[in-house]
């Protein structure tokens, strides 16, 4: 809630307003009558938003398959300390996400699920759980600032945002990091606002121990998932508030001495274990090779000028972003009220740092989005969204985004598959219709209803894109077709060497022992035994044929897989060769 006149401060308790309405507003009225209903509703929404595509989108390149393959090797070797991709150490991130993924795969295997180690959806479950958990924690954090109804709206804004929809479907760290970061910042907000209201530090057991326990446990989990990044989020927020309030008194309510000991107790054992195993290699690679290098220069062609995240925000936080511009004037007027001040301290310093860092990826600012969602809902609850026509026109974004993305996805499917993917059409139409309703029906007093329609548009768009179109684009996932072809061979335990196509998804699907080489190396590999296959991309076939002739290798083609390698932006044609002597 954003106050712009002399009213109680942002974050003070407020009565739940009486709401009328119909349709989606009626649903909101029902679920906001109790916390139990609200939590159950948000869990259902998380499943509805994040499950489409989770099971049937093949492994994606490159980061997801790298994480999944490293977790698979952890299961294969039984080593919970070392992190490797084939024989190469993977020391860019700590072990947290690998433990979570490996635990899911091991559990599925023990329950009898066939071929569990190569089922990518198992590796995505921690991200799915992290996404749903982040939605619930956004609700919990928002309760410190707005009414229960507003907290549900803030959680829905997170649940429906484009970026979380992507990350909750990928076997990576970012959805889990969002979960832990939101826990950290939500706990910190409660302590800070309690201090601002002049409440005693030991008012209840919850304030005295439970909230600090949540804070420090989430800090430890964040460190194990993505290293010291959480220290930047929390540290910059504390620093900004200290400058504005000229006091750090409230920080002692977080029990930092006990908390730091707790963090060390949780996180330090693995760091000691990896130091014993690798020496200083992990710290050199993760801090020097990964984190600090990203600050100094663009990594893997992911450089962009300052302003990159601001431009992408309008898409990555859609549909909530359509209200962000209209909320900004009221937020700025309330900037010195405790609640707004905390949320701005959560967002602005870290956002500036990310804009200045040389390496940029869209998901880096995702942990800042819960604060933005709460700020927007605070303004919406007070009905002080800007009426400036040039800002109100931004509501057209509710229709423009689903219209462009759903139509483009269907056209892409038609071009690549030469078929219309009719199953996606009803959801594309629903996304555009709900988006159109949200835009046309918007006014200052019905912003909530428009936002709910936009949330519905986001769900329909997600089903269209992730649930139907993306899984159907088989040419984008040649590794799956290659693995299927090798599973159908007559010999037992086929081994493969790949030349010209060495994406991580291939190693994940075909096997850890897959040799990544060139055309000549693939020919040599093929000659070394039976039940061996050479996976040779067209650009390496000449070198393969020349080497085969030189060494007297007789071979035959068993299949050819045509596709598109989106990691390099080029079509690929991969021949699967087998030695004639092994027929």
* pLDDT tens-digit map of 51-62: 999 999 999 999
First to last CA, the chain: 73
Residue 395 vs residues 23, 164, 566: alpha-carbon distances, Å = 20, 21, 33
CA dihedral (301, 304, 310, 312) in degrees, to 10, reads -30
Do residues 565 and 577 share a domain? yes
Print the domain residue range for 538: 476-582
Asked if the structure places residue 1 within a domain, the reply is no
pLDDT value for 214: 97
- CA 116/CA 120 separation, integer angstroms: 8
Do residues 531 and 558 share a domain? yes
Do residues 214 and 194 share a domain? yes
Contact 536, 493 (CB under 8 A): no
Domain boundary among 327, 356, 382: 382
pLDDT value for 205: 65
Do residues 324 and 416 share a domain? no
- CA 247/CA 242 separation, integer angstroms: 5
* Number of folded domains that form the chain: 3
Do residues 467 and 482 share a domain? no
Asked if the structure places residue 6 within a domain, the reply is no
By three-state DSSP, how is residue 498 classified? strand
Do residues 419 and 543 share a domain? no
528 exposure class (CB count in 10 Å sphere: 0-12, 13-18, 19+): exposed
Q: What one-character-per-residue DSSP string does 435-455 give? A: HHHHHHT--GGGHHHHHHHHH
Percent of the chain with pLDDT over 70: 92
Domain boundary among 382, 405, 428: 382
Asked if the structure places residue 13 within a domain, the reply is no
Q: Single out the residue of 398, 383, 570, 396 nearest to residue 475, CA to CA.
A: 570
Do residues 518 and 500 share a domain? yes
Asked if the structure places residue 9 within a domain, the reply is no
Asked if the structure places residue 10 within a domain, the reply is no
Could you say which DSSP state residue 490 is in?
S
Asked if the structure places residue 523 within a domain, the reply is yes
pLDDT value for 13: 44
**Tokens found for residue 55:** 């099971």
Asked if the structure places residue 557 within a domain, the reply is yes
Do residues 186 and 326 share a domain? yes
The widest CA-to-CA distance across the chain, in whole angstroms, is 89
Do residues 561 and 442 share a domain? no
Per the DSSP assignment, residues forming a β-bridge with 496 are: 533
Domain boundary among 472, 497, 513: 472
Residues of the chain with pLDDT under 50: 1-9, 11-16
Query: Per residue in 196-229, pLDDT tens?
Result: 998 877 666 666 789 999 999 999 999 999 999 9
Do residues 369 and 409 share a domain? no
Residue identified by tokens 């088989």 is 474
Do residues 213 and 95 share a domain? yes
Do residues 427 and 347 share a domain? no
Contact 536, 522 (CB under 8 A): yes
Asked if the structure places residue 125 within a domain, the reply is yes
Interacting residues of 314 by C-beta distance below 8 A, sequence separation 6+: 321, 324, 397
């Amino acid at each position: 809630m954003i106050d712009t006149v002399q009213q109680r401060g942002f974050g003070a308790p407020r009565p739940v307003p009486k709401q009328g309405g119909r349709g989606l507003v009626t649903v909101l009225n029902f679920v906001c009558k109790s916390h139990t209903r609200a939590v159950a509703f948000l869990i259902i929404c998380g499943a509805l938003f994040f499950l489409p595509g989770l099971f049937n989108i093949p492994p994606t390149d490159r980061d997801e398959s790298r994480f999944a393959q490293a977790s698979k090797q952890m299961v294969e070797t039984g080593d919970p300390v070392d992190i490797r991709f084939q024989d190469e150490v993977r020391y860019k991130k700590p072990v947290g996400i690998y433990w979570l993924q490996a635990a899911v795969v091991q559990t599925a295997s023990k329950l009898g699920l066939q071929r569990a180690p190569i089922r990518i959806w198992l590796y995505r479950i921690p991200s799915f759980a992290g996404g749903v958990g982040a939605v619930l924690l956004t609700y919990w954090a928002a309760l410190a600032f707005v009414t229960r109804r507003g907290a549900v709206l803030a959680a829905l804004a997170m649940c429906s945002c484009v970026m979380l929809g992507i990350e909750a479907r990928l076997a990576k760290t970012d959805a889990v990091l969002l979960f832990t970061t939101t826990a950290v910042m939500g706990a910190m907000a409660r302590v800070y606002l309690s201090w601002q209201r002049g409440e005693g530090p030991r008012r209840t057991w919850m304030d005295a121990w439970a909230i600090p326990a949540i804070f420090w446990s989430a800090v430890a989990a964040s460190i194990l998932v993505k290293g010291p990044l959480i220290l930047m989020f929390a540290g910059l927020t504390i620093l900004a508030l200290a400058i504005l309030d000229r006091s750090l008194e409230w920080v002692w309510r977080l029990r930092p001495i006990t908390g730091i000991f707790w963090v060390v107790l949780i996180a330090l054992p693995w760091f000691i274990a990896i130091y014993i195993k690798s020496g200083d290699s992990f710290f050199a690679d993760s801090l020097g090779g990964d984190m600090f290098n990203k600050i100094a220069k663009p990594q893997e062609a992911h450089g962009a000028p300052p302003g990159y995240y601001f431009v992408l925000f309008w898409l990555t936080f859609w549909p909530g972003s359509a209200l962000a511009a209209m909320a900004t004037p009221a937020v700025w007027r309330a900037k010195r009220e405790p609640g707004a001040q905390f949320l701005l301290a959560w967002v602005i310093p870290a956002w500036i740092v990310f804009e200045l860092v040389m390496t940029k990826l869209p998901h880096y600012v995702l942990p800042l989005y819960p604060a933005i969602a709460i700020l927007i809902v605070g303004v919406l609850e007070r009905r002080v969204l800007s009426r400036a026509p040039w800002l109100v026109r931004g509501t057209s974004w509710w229709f423009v985004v689903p219209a462009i993305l759903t139509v483009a996805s269907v056209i892409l499917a038609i071009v690549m598959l030469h078929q219309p993917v009719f199953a996606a059409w009803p959801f594309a139409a629903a996304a555009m219709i709900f988006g159109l309703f949200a835009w046309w029906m918007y006014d200052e007093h019905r912003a909530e209803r428009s936002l709910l329609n936009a949330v519905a548009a986001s769900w329909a768009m997600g089903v269209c894109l992730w649930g139907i179109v993306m899984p159907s684009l088989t040419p984008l996932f040649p590794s799956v077709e290659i693995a299927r072809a090798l599973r159908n061979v007559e010999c037992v335990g086929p081994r493969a060497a790949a030349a010209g196509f060495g994406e991580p998804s291939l190693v994940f699907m075909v096997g850890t022992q897959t040799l990544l080489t060139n055309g000549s190396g693939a020919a040599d590999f093929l000659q070394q035994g039976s039940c061996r296959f050479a996976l040779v991309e067209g650009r390496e076939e000449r070198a393969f044929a020349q080497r085969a002739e030189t060494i007297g290798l007789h071979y035959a083609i068993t299949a050819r897989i045509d596709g598109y390698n989106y990691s390099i932006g080029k079509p690929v044609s991969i021949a699967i060769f087998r030695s004639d002597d092994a027929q």
